Amino acid sequence: MSGETWFVLAVLVIAIILFVTEWLRVDVVALGVVVALMLSGVLSTGEALAGFSNTAVLTIASLFIVGGAVLQTGLAGMIGRRILQIAGTGELRLIIVLMAAVALLSSFMSDTGTVAVLLPAVIILAHSAKIAPSKLLIPLAFGSLLGGATTLIGTPPNIIVSDLLLEQGLTPFSFFSYTPMGIVLILLGILYMMFVGQRWLPDRRTVIDSQPVATPEELVKLYQLPDNLFRLRVRRESALVGKTLAVAGLRQEFGISVIDIQRREVPRAGLELVWGRRREEERPLPTRTSIQPTPDTTIELDDLLIVQGTDQQITQMSTRWNLAVQPAQGSSDANSLLNEEVGIAEVLIPPRSSLIGKTIVEAQFGALYKLSVLGISGPTARHDMNVKTAQLHFGDILLVQGPWKNILQLKKQRRDFVVMGQPEAMIGAPNRQKALVALLILLGMVAILILDLMPTAQAGMLAALLMVLTGCLSMDEAYQAIDWKSIVLVAGMLPMSTALEKTGLVDIAAQGLVNALGDIGPLAVLAGLFLLTSLFTQVLSNTATTVVIAPIALASATNLGVAPYAFLMAVAIAASMAFATPVASPVNTLVMGAGNYRFGDYIKVGVPMILITLLASVIILPLLFPF
């Protein structure tokens, strides 16, 4: 082999090592591959940067935007919840419905997005059915991976191999080319999980499972809220008018938490004098807007402050600032505590929390986490204890209130907090009123692809543009919906494929595979490609694996003198069969913590699943795509 060949091989090996060890981010590694191949002269500048204009990359980016709109409008959540309504509470039925539902959704949107949408609902479903989440979450992840293999847009490897066929002047795979094999794999996966995998799934419960998890509505009743809340109206003479909450220092001076501010929108209706005569004014009744308070919120005349504190604290504050105390209005004030933007949740103090021994004030809880503590319960808590000055102990449970996004941030502070329940399930879709529009655009894109009216890249970009123009998501949200790490990874590794072909490494690998297995027949080569791809995809991303192995599959077919479709389909399918490790796919990682899984759980349940899909592919693919 030439020096260039050895250099490209070294770059590939180093890239694989970095992918596996994650010493560097995968997108940084991919960019390093591009720069190394460009500076070494193996590829010209145009060849090295061609991946960023590749149609497969543009298609994947467009589909991220379409998927983001489906999530942003709540369409995916609505479909998912509707499907889960028929799941019942039996473990076997739950597994069947979950895998079928997630497979259906992931055939049209990203696996990760599908699992992220359904995960909170599945955990709540497991709690209500008194089943350990670990019995349901691996089936959820595996079902999404199987579903991604059923359509052209289900997963990036499908798009990559189809695009490779097009580049070679061959007929690319159509939208439903993957569907027959995908349906077989979904059915086999469900049957396997029903009769075998279910027995090997661990019955493991997290710390949260041992605690009775109440819904936010139940917490309101449990802590006797809003009976503990007060409504204070800001009078014209009050010195609070024009001050910010930070300047007013209500919490520091009186120990009072401002939970909500209700501000008048429409002027008060009443009577007015017109030409010396009284005429009843025809104006709408006054309405108030709920404002989530921050330290920078300015208090205005006639604001209603929803506050939490003792009778004594309220008396002192209302006297000091000349505020009118109004009676609490049960359902109205409960709505101030609970909606799609703000809510309440219980937070457990674990053994190693840095808050143990401190008070809420000493821990600067409100300033750091932008949340209010409404109550404390637990083994050491007393009914008459002061929430602000009581020392915290292991096992104490804080009732916190504030924006759901801030409550979710506590989940990342695993050393200090255990957030009980699933606050992410309470967050509503920002653009829910556009759900029907998103559905019509998605169906239109699918129809265009099915009828082959335009190439996949054009259809995807058109759908993405329509999602933005119709307001299903903004342009900023579209940028946020794109997984740029994945885009850079694909765009950066595509030039590696070019370098492997240019230096002859693809032919060398293909010839070696054919020499080793070709005498047995094309079926053996197909099986070898499937095993090689599935092995790589357990430690690398499915896109990087496909980019490297798909050209080898194409060259192997050429050397054997057979049609390449079955080989490339086997590579695409195997790249999605990432069952054996928690890092093989983002969906496996996503459910690992929620299911309290260990590395060995994936090996035990996933390896037999890979062997089953291998056997099915070797038998069925030659029938669908004859050699």
For the segment 435-463, what is each residue's pLDDT rounded down to a tens digit?
889 989 989 988 998 888 888 889 989 99
Q: Is residue 39 part of a domain?
A: no
Sheet containing strand 257-264, strands side by side:
288-291, 257-264, 304-308, 229-234, 323-326
Indicate if 476 and 534 belong to the same structural domain: yes
Among 221-230, 417-426, 476-485, the range with the most confident prediction by mean pLDDT is 476-485
For the segment 588-599, what is each residue's pLDDT rounded down to a tens digit?
877 876 777 887
Indicate if 480 and 408 belong to the same structural domain: no
Q: Is residue 275 part of a domain?
A: yes
For the segment 108-161, what is each residue's pLDDT rounded down to a tens digit?
877 877 787 677 667 767 776 778 888 999 999 999 999 999 999 888 899 999
Indicate if 86 and 164 belong to the same structural domain: yes
For the segment 168-203, what is each residue's pLDDT rounded down to a tens digit?
889 999 989 999 999 999 999 999 999 998 889 888
Which pLDDT belongs to residue 592? Answer: 76
Indicate if 65 and 91 belong to the same structural domain: yes
Indicate if 119 and 187 belong to the same structural domain: yes
**Residue where one domain finishes, among candidates 337, 358, 390:** 337
- Asked if residues 396 and 350 have their Cβ atoms less than 8 Å apart, the reply is no
Phi, psi of 418 (to 5 degrees): -125, 110
Indicate if 350 and 313 belong to the same structural domain: no
Longest dimension (CA), the chain: 108
| pLDDT band at residue 69 using 50, 70 and 90 as cut-offs | confident
Indicate if 168 and 235 belong to the same structural domain: no
Which pLDDT belongs to residue 270? Answer: 46
Indicate if 362 and 323 belong to the same structural domain: no
Q: Is residue 7 part of a domain?
A: no
Indicate if 328 and 347 belong to the same structural domain: no
- Asked if residues 107 and 182 have their Cβ atoms less than 8 Å apart, the reply is yes
Indicate if 197 and 81 belong to the same structural domain: yes
Which pLDDT belongs to residue 278? Answer: 45
Residue 289 reports pLDDT greater than 80: no
What is the residue-wise DSSP string for 224-250? TTTTTEEEEEE-TT-TTTT-BHHHHTH
CATH number of the domain within which 383 lies: 3.30.70.1450
What is the residue-wise DSSP string for 302-369? T-EEEEE--HHHHHHHHHHHTEEEE---HHHHHHHH-SSSEEEEEEE--TT-TTTT--TTTTTHHHHH
* Between residues 46 and 1, the one the model is more confident about: 46
Structural domain range at position 172: 51-205+438-624
| pLDDT band at residue 38 using 50, 70 and 90 as cut-offs | very high
Rg for the chain (alpha carbons), in Å?
A: 29
**Residue where one domain finishes, among candidates 304, 337, 370:** 337
For the segment 514-524, what is each residue's pLDDT rounded down to a tens digit?
888 877 889 99
CA atoms within 13 A on the CB side of 133: 26
Which pLDDT belongs to residue 535? Answer: 87
Indicate if 408 and 478 belong to the same structural domain: no
For the segment 535-594, what is each residue's pLDDT rounded down to a tens digit?
888 867 788 888 889 999 999 999 899 999 999 999 999 999 989 887 678 788 778 767
**Residue where one domain finishes, among candidates 420, 452, 473:** 420
Indicate if 346 and 332 belong to the same structural domain: no
* Between residues 5 and 83, the one the model is more confident about: 5
Whether the model clears a pTM of 0.85, i.e. scores above it, the answer is no
